[in-house]
Structures are given as C-alpha cells and as structure tokens.
Amino acid sequence: MNWILVLVALLAAGAVVLAMLGTRGAINEVALEDRTYYDPLPKLMQMMWPLVTVLTRRIAPRLNVVQLEHTHRQLQAAGQDYTLTPEEFYGLRLSSAIVTAVFFALCLLMLGRLDVGSALLCLVFGGFLGWLYPMLWLTERRKLRERAVVRDLPVYLDFITMSVEAGLNVTGGIEQAVAKGPAGALSQEFSRMLRDVRAGLPRAEALKRMAERMDIGQITSFTSALIQADKVGANLSDTLRAQANQRREERFLRAEKLALEAPVKMMLPLVMFFFPLIFLFIGYFIYLKMLQEGIL
C-alpha cells in the first residue's frame, strides 16, 4: 500500500513539474514586449502579465474587428488605451477567469471539500467572476475619470476664456490651460489634442476626435459649440464664457443632487445595521427590568 502512495505522489510531482516546464516554455516563446511608451500597469496586473501575454498571443487571431473596435473605444473612454491594447484586454479577461477558478479550487482543496461537482462549480462560477472583473474594473476607471473631467472642466474653460480675451487663439488658450491648469485626465486629453494639431490635423477634427475618445456629454457639448462658433465666425470669448458658466452650474447642480440623495442611500445601512443594534440595546434593559419585576 505504501508503494502505491509513493507512486501517486511521484506522478503528481511529475505532473506539476511538467506543467511548470510547459508554462515556462510557452512564456519563453512569446517575445518580451517593449512597454517604454505605455502607461505603467497596476501591481496585480504586473503579476499576471506573463500569463496575459501568452494568452493574448493565442486568442488574438480569433478576435473579430468589431469586438476589437468596441473594446478600443471603451479603453479610450476609461483612459486606459495607453495601458492595454484591445487584444491584451481580452487576454487579461481570460487570465483573470483562469486564476480565479484555480484560486477557488485551491481554497476548496485546503478545506478538504474538493470533488468533481465542486470543481465544476469553481470552473463555472470562478471563471465567470474572473471574466467579468476586468470589465467592472474598466467601468469603475471610466466613472472616476468622468468625475475628474467634470470637476476640472470649468477651471480649464476659465483659463481658455481669459487667454482668448487676452488676444490668443483657441489653440494658444488651450496650451495655457494645460500649462496652468490642474493635472489629470482633462490635461492629458487636451495635450493629446494639441499634439494632433501640431501633427497637421485641423483643429475642428482634433476637437472632434477628443470628444469621441472621452465620450462625455459635457466635453461633446463644449467641442460642438466651439466648432460651430468657429465655423460661423461667432465671438469665441462669449461662447467660451457661456460654456464655462453652464459647466459650473451643472457641477453645482450635480453636487446638490448627490447631497439630496445621501439620506436615501443611508437608509439601507441604517435599517440593516444601526437600528437592530439600538433595538438589541434597548431590549436588553427591558429584559432586565422584566426580570426584576418578576414578569419573566
């Protein structure tokens, strides 16, 4: 009986070694990517990146153009198009699904509850959760970026308006706003727009591309008004001033709306956590009083 256990242990160890060698060989087959001109990866993504690179190389030829274009627009709207390519994003989703399923299976194995049914459950539930998580991360990044842009836009519009009123054109006003304004997502997008203009792209087209990249209503309204005013020859300073006042009003209304929503959002934690504790605290003293009176 002992020699059977030793044989099974040796076979398991050999399988693990072969899997490690196979994974290492697959990673070595993929050429290391030069990420000098990319944004740095998050810490967790850096740990998974060799697996992401291998899987990206395998699944990239099977992705169609519509999927890649849609993902590219999502990455642009979240400001992650200089961090991941669309192909790498699908490789990240597949890697996340595999890692999550394996993690759940290891947890069940350590608890001694791993069998065929639980392994299948880990594969389905863990794989689905891991496949979904990168998209949730991307959506959250887009929401944070949109809030930052809406917050900084009135400040940039004020800088651009003052520069135009001082005699600069719109491009010069945007350059001054980027130089003097707060750093962030909006500063990066205006810088990309200026690079497009310096590369020879017409200003209207550069503004239109910026609006398409960001996919934010306030930015689309600003660029449309600016392009229209430039076409019809309207006073740009008046247009910019009106846009700045409107964006500032929208920001205050948004803050007021969030303040009014706060009591409603507080109801769930109050009902679930705060009120039960109060009832338990009061009920304890009622129980003691009833014991003293001999009711219980």
Compute how many other C-beta atoms are within 10 angstroms of the C-beta atom of residue 105.
17
pLDDT digits (tens, 9 = 90+) for 162-209: 888 888 888 888 888 888 888 888 888 889 889 988 888 888 888 888
Which residues have C-beta within 8 Å of that of residue 184, sequence separation ≥ 6?
A: 148, 149, 152
Give whole-number Cα distances, 90 to 93, 131, 209, in Å: 5, 9, 25
Using the 3D structure, point to which of 232, 257, 289 is the last residue of a domain: 232
pLDDT digits (tens, 9 = 90+) for 61-108: 888 888 888 998 899 888 888 888 899 899 999 999 998 888 888 888
Phi-psi region of 39 (alpha: psi -120 to 50; beta: other; left: phi over 0): beta
pLDDT digits (tens, 9 = 90+) for 205-239: 888 888 888 888 888 888 888 888 777 776 777 77
**Domain hosting residue 157, numbered range:** 151-232
102 and 8 part of one domain: yes
Distance (Å, rounded) from C-alpha 281 to C-alpha 279?
5
Using the 3D structure, point to which of 176, 203, 232 is the last residue of a domain: 232
Give pLDDT, residue 179.
87
156 and 129 part of one domain: no
Structural domains in the chain (count): 2
